[in-house]
Amino acid sequence: MTPAQRPPGKSSTPRRALHGVLLLDKPLGWTSNDALQKCKGLLRALKGGHTGTLDPLATGLLPLCFGAATKFSQVSLDADKRYRATLCLGRRTSTGDREGEVLEERPVATDAAAVAAACGRFIGAQDQVPPMHSALKHQGRALYEYARAGVEVERAPRRVTIHAIDIVHWQHDELVLDVSCTKGTYIRTLAEDIGQALGCGAHLSALRRTGCGPLDLAQATTLEALQALSEAEREAQLLPADVLLAGWPEVCLNESEAGRFLTGLRRRVALADAPAVRVYASQPPAFLGTAHITAGELIADRLLNPLEVQGTL
């Protein structure tokens, strides 16, 4: 990232309350926080956060939440993810990606059946040890800080699930995969594991996040495109907060019931129990927040205040 590309520092331009979700196609070389701060500045937004870190090496879908939408960002953090991963076969590196020192080179002697079998071994639930070169924290410091200092930290394995691995392209030392997985899955670790299974080693040479829960990269905008827009056009890129909850069961309340719900009062509903629902007012139409249903009672979880309800329409 060049100095001209970096997010601006503090500005005297007044910030404003904006509510919604911006789907950003994060550029190569930017941290997730760099991208967030740049977009906050372009939108003049008071409050914002990203929904899961993408390494500088990675590009692709980074949902950014502003204002009231930040109340529901955990949903996106917890959602399944989709990636397009490019593996370089025959080389292991110190970081598991192209930025590391080459530790070992081996000839790539395999065939399509062996590649398919190696990928198939890693579909399903499994324990995965986080890599040292990751943003995971240990005693308040990111693991990559320890790695850069030459310190190895013991890491507990994490239970993850890889739902699918589809082979997009394979030719000699380049293998391109589409991966669908649960949150917390490290694709660089998967790349190394597949290389080990093939007997030649591998590292991750490129990574692009293509989906997050119901959200898709095709809906995202680039920083360049955002910068080229007027302020009103940039604001129009914001999606409503409930886009993060697409696919959840929906409960619709009349005006009086909606008002009571927003105060946190439990409501009786003739609906089956559900661990998570999105709640709307029917008139005027508005997203109110999230809840769960237990024993016929609608119990609020995350609520918008009346001003936020107006701002998310």
| Residues marked as catalytic | 55
Task: Locate 129 and state its tokens.
Answer: 């040890």
- Which three-class secondary structure state does DSSP give residue 200? coil
Residue 309 in tokens:
């309800």
Residue pair 67/36 in contact by the 8 Å Cβ criterion: no
What DSSP letter does each residue of 140-188 carry, written as one string? Answer: TEEHHHHHHTT-------EEEEEEEEEEEEEETTEEEEEEEE-TT--HH
Cα separation, 92 vs 88, whole angstroms:
9
Q: Do the bridges between strand 274-282 and strand 91-93 make them parallel or antiparallel, or are there none, so unpaired?
A: unpaired
SS3 for 257? Answer: helix
**CA-to-CA distance for 277 and 117, rounded, in angstroms?**
40
In angstroms, the CA 293 to CA 299 distance is 6
- The position carrying tokens 């955990």 is 74
Please give the C-alpha separations between residue 208 and each of 136, 137, 186, 233, in angstroms, as whole numbers. 20, 23, 13, 26
CA distance 161 to 177: 16
